[in-house]
Amino acid sequence: MRAEAGVPQTSGVTPPAALSAVADRVSARLEGILAHETERWSALDPDLAAPIGALSRLALVGGKRIRAALCHWSFVGAGGDPDDPGMLDAAAAFELLQVFALIHDDVMDGSATRRGTPTIHTKFAEVHETAGWRGDPRHFGEGVAILAGDVAHVYADRLMTGAPAEALEIWHELRIEVNIGQYLDLAGTVRGNTDLATARRISRYKSGKYTIERPLHLGAALHHRLAELRPGLDAYGVPLGEAFQLRDDLLGVFGEAELTGKPVGEDLREGKPTPLLAVATERATPAQLEVLRRVGSPHLDAADIALIQEVVTATGAKAASEDTIRELTGRAAESLDGAPLTAEAIDAMCHLAAYVGSRDS
């Protein structure tokens, strides 16, 4: 299909073929790596099966593989062989880096669930408590989770061994950006920042660049065409990265736990500084502001969350966010018209733009 046709209608539940085909290959690669690692370290000490097994389950269960797919289609769009093993390893590296980020993010946020199951730090705190071991269960659980995340990070780096120098430079930069974005998120949360400019900057560095822009850059760099293709990739990736985070923000407030794998309203309890809440705050009446001031309390119950959801809707912030997502995903798809990429990649990236904007998990 041609880019000027606009963003195709894609279910927010069913991933497009452009995503699922890549996801299956990446999952198989990850399964092989992690099975081998579990076997070799368990042979050294049976106790090591538990943390590596927990890491493996998080990597293999759930996860949309959006980063892997964008890396793949950028590489293919640049003229690369879709069966290139170096590209597959880079795609798998993104997924392991994401596991690292999720594990550490859960520790920093004190999250109890991830992808519908207990977070790693929660699980190992329970193991400690059940066994009656010495020390603080929470401290043990967080320590295990940090180490498991670090191991995932090392596995990701190892998969990038042998990549072109330009691709490695992108890889190093994106890893720094992930951590910089995480700090901005932490600082914004504790300060209660609600201004739109700050919220958008946090969103871009914590998620947009890492999830959309950098996978595109890395894919092109793997085929030595980044300098040539970067302007067009940015025209697609920058708006789509913002749309991705706006959808995440909506899911954090209105998403269904059965689909997101996290409790309803968890972002509200954590007080995440999002553009959605910034717009709601700007538009709120004094009475509505009193409700929004509850955001960030860990003691919000279902009634509190429902009231905050009502205010976000009544201020028009929810509708404005949906409108912006449609505009951004449309702009991303339109940017592909005439792009110097293969026709197959253009078609795939149009469908991926639709999925990013409409997903429900």
What region does 322 belong to: left with phi over 0, alpha with psi -120 to 50, or beta? alpha
What global pTM score does this model have? 0.92
The angle subtended at Cα 262 by Cα 122 and Cα 24, nearest 5°, is 95
Cβ distance 216 to 236 under 8 Å? yes
Helix 165-191 × helix 196-203 angle, to 10°: 140
Among 271, 267, 241, smallest CA distance to 252 is for: 267
Residue in the block written with tokens 């736990």? 257
**Cβ–Cβ under 8 Å, residues 58 and 144:** no
* Helix (H), strand (E) at residue 117: strand 117-118
How confident is the prediction along the chain (361 residues), in pLDDT tens digits per residue?
334 334 444 444 589 999 998 999 999 999 999 999 999 999 999 999 999 999 999 999 878 999 999 999 999 999 999 999 999 999 999 999 999 999 999 999 898 988 888 999 999 999 999 999 999 999 999 999 999 999 999 999 999 999 999 999 999 999 999 999 899 888 888 888 668 888 888 888 888 899 999 999 999 999 999 999 999 999 999 999 999 999 999 999 998 888 877 778 888 998 988 999 999 999 999 999 999 999 999 899 999 999 999 999 999 999 999 999 999 999 999 999 999 999 999 999 999 999 999 988 8
Distance CA 171, CA 288 (A): 43
Give me the CATH code for the 3-358 domain, please: 1.10.600.10
Residue 84: both structure tokens together: 């290139």
> Residue with structure tokens 């966010």?
321
**Confidence at residue 12, expressed as pLDDT on a 0 to 100 scale:** 46
Query: H or E element: which one contains 252?
Result: helix 226-254
φ/ψ of 194, rounded to 5, equals: -130, 0
pLDDT at 9: 41
